Amino acid sequence: MFTVIGERINTTLKKVQAAVADRDADYIKDDVKQQTEAGATYIDVNAGARIGHEEEDMRWLLKVVQEATDLPLCLDSPDPAILEMAYGMVDKTPMINSISLEKERFDAMIPFLKGKECKIIALCMDDSGMPKSFEDIVGRARSIVQELENIGMKREDIFIDPLIQPMSVDSQNGVMVMKAVKAIMTEIEGVHTTGGLSNISYGLPQRKIINRNFLVMMMAHGFDAAIMDPLDRDIMAVLRTSEMLKGEDNFCMNYLKAVRAGDIKA
């Protein structure tokens, strides 16, 4: 089954930022309930946008979000200290977003991860910056999987984020990441791939059309998890249809169920 990481509890979103600043728990809970209802697998929680408030905002959000859903959380911060605090506050085995090969971040995350029960998103980022080629992405994926397995993490708990970069920046960014996903999913058997889907459309008009088409193409290359908006009904319909077409929906049962529920409709 495809993993849907619901991206909406993120203080870069203006309404979420206002709700967090006002400690408006009802707004947050309503959004989380809608994402849960819409078929999210994890709820991403990112409190990074109010500079100087990340720790208190993250604490408050984790309490409120867990009151609204039984889903596990995806703890989203570049700061290892925030991730460690957040890990201690969750009831269900979380996904940690993220570790990378950047030395400072890597060295702080490894001792914390050792022996912990969790899923982990591993970014194909190192101290030289964003990947510039297919080879960069796949090489970094191999290194980080090796490092995580060395501390006892299971391959099936690792979600490689190849770092989806905008088409508006380079017209080869789409094929670069799709080819890399295919290589990672075939060469590193058992690992998962994920990433912020909407990065692909940044800077272009009609972003939702781009995001939907990109999701189909990524899934055809083996992409099996995405950080995305589960309240976009059309992208969820595209997702369920692609799963069915990939042979991952026995007797098209989930597809037919979604049609009957009115969730897939031309």
Neighbours of 201 (CB within 10 A): 21
Q: Does 260 bind ligand THG (CB under 6 A)?
A: no
What are the C-alpha distances in Å from 201 to residues 12, 35, 50, 169, 196?
17, 22, 25, 10, 11
Neighbours of 139 (CB within 10 A): 16
263's tokens: 């969730």
Task: Judge whether 194 and 161 are in contact, CB under 8 Å.
Answer: yes
- Number of residues assigned to the chain: 266
- For ligand THG, which is the closer residue by CB, 218 or 258? 218
**Single residue of 39, 139, 166, 196 touching ligand THG by CB under 6 A:** 196
**Cα dihedral sign, 179-180-186-192:** negative
**Single residue of 11, 165, 199, 254 touching ligand THG by CB under 6 A:** 199
Q: Does 126 bind ligand THG (CB under 6 A)?
A: no
Sequence-distant (6+) residues with CB within 8 A of 162 are 124, 131, 137, 141, 177, 180, 181, 184, 193, 195
- For ligand THG, which is the closer residue by CB, 119 or 221? 119
| C-beta nearest to ligand THG: residue | 196
**CA atoms of 247 and 245, how far apart (whole Å):** 5
**Single residue of 106, 195, 200, 243 touching ligand THG by CB under 6 A:** 195
Question: Where in 225-254 is the site for ligand THG (CB under 6 A)?
Answer: 227
Q: Does 84 bind ligand THG (CB under 6 A)?
A: no
Look-up: residue for tokens 């992208």? 235
Which stretches within 114-252 are classed as H helix? Answer: 134-150, 173-187, 207-220, 233-245
Q: Does 136 bind ligand THG (CB under 6 A)?
A: no
- For ligand THG, which is the closer residue by CB, 199 or 241? 199
Q: Does 13 bind ligand THG (CB under 6 A)?
A: yes
- For ligand THG, which is the closer residue by CB, 125 or 185? 125
- For ligand THG, which is the closer residue by CB, 28 or 258? 28
Q: Does 139 bind ligand THG (CB under 6 A)?
A: no
**Single residue of 98, 165, 193, 254 touching ligand THG by CB under 6 A:** 98
Q: Which residues bind ligand THG (CB under 6 A)?
A: 7, 10, 12-14, 46, 76, 97-98, 121, 161, 195-196, 198-199, 227
